[in-house]
Each structure stands twice: as structure tokens, then as C-alpha cells.
Amino acid sequence: MFQRQDRMIALTFDDGPQPGPTNEILDILSENQARATFFVLGNIAIQHPDLTRRIVQEGHDIGVHSLSHPNFQETEIYEVYRELIDSTLLLEDLLGIPVKYVRPPYGFSTAEAQFLFDRIGLQSILWTYDTLDWEILDADVIAGNMLENIQPREIVLLHDIHPATAQAMRIAIPQLVDQGYELVTISEYLETQENTLS
């Protein structure tokens, strides 16, 4: 018998929010009773406060993706701290909820940065499947690759700043749901993983 985690996928979106693609992705998720996680840039989120609030209001997770997307491996540690704390406080003030997750830009980090994540109270979340949507920029190819290659329990990397990514989700999300996958937030994903281990 399948356990819940055997049919879970966590879609995650980086670098937004951007009104066109992000709103379309949120519409598609709503239409399919699916949830996701958005790792937003503080400098972008503050420009689109209503859209940033919409993410949380519709039941999705939101996480920090830094303030301005530097490479933490090439950034002085005091600047890494500023990027983290400024974006975290900005989001918490805007949303009125604690922010629990961080995804370092490019997935690059250091031991010092990881120490800061812990001190600030942010859990670092990477990915297990990279769609390369930012490079491909073709909705049919992005969706086709996902549907052909994705496995249960994947954490999927996407970017909600590209129209092609939103168009790909219009293709892929309904088919994943039809195949019996449950599209969940990182919080739901981690909770199920913890329950499996306990």
C-alpha cells in the first residue's frame, strides 16, 4: 500500500515574485488544489506586496532567497548576514508570520553562511530535481522533461520569473495531479518525512 510520501512532490519557485508569471502559477495551483513553495527576493517582494501576500493567503509556503541574489560563496560574511536578516525581517513585517526557510542563491553556501542560517532560525532547502527552466525557456520542453523524469518525493527547482515556466506549469501540474501526485509545500513535505522517521 502506498504511503502518502510515496506520491508527494514539492514544487519550489525561486527569484520572484513577478506579477505575470507568479499570478498565473498561483492560478494554476489553485485550479488543481495544489500547493508549492516560493523563495522570494526581498527587493522584489517589497515591490509587489499584494502578490507576496497572495502566496501565503492561498496556503503556499514562502521562504527567503536573499535580498538581491548574490553568490554567498563570493560575498563577505557581514553582507551575507545583511542579505539574510534584511530580507527575513522585510517578509515577516509584510506578512505578519515567521519565515522558516532559506534557499541560498544558486544553491551556493559556506559553513559561515550555514551558521548564520541557524542563528537567524532559517532552515536551508535545496532541491533534488532541477528543471533548468531558466535555460530552456520552452514550455513544452520544460513540462515534457518534468513529466518524463520526475520521481516521487522530489523537490523541484523552478523560477517564477519566466512566462515559459508558467506555461509549462499549465501543462505539467494537471497531469501530475491526474497521475496521483500530491503537490505540497516544503512544510508538508518535511513533516511527512519526519513522521516517516519517527
- For the stretch 27-74, pLDDT in tens is 999 999 999 999 999 999 999 999 999 999 999 999 999 999 999 999
Q: Virtual CA dihedral for 103, 135, 133, 84, nearest 10 degrees?
A: 10
Q: How far apart are CA 41 and CA 15, in angstroms?
A: 6
For 62-88, how does the pLDDT look when each residue is reduced to its tens digit (9 = 90+)?
Answer: 999 999 999 999 999 999 999 999 999
**pTM for this structure?**
0.95
Among 192, 70, 66, 43, smallest CA distance to 117 is for 66
**pLDDT value, residue 193:** 74
The yes-or-no verdict on residue 160 having pLDDT over 60 is: yes
Sequence-distant (6+) residues with CB within 8 A of 114 are 124
* Choice among 15, 65, 133, 159 that is catalytic: 159
Please indicate whether residue 159 is annotated as part of the active site.
Answer: yes
Q: How far apart are CA 56 and CA 149, in angstroms?
A: 29
Q: Enter the C-alpha cell of residue 118.
A: 541557524
Mean pLDDT of 166-188: 97
Q: How far apart are CA 13 and CA 158, in angstroms?
A: 5
Please indicate whether residue 14 is annotated as part of the active site.
Answer: yes
**pLDDT value, residue 6:** 76
Mean pLDDT of 3-7: 68
CATH of 4-197, one of 2.60.40.10, 1.10.10.10, 3.40.50.2300, 3.20.20.370: 3.20.20.370
Residue spans of the domains in the chain: they are 4-197
* Choice among 14, 15, 61, 160 that is catalytic: 14
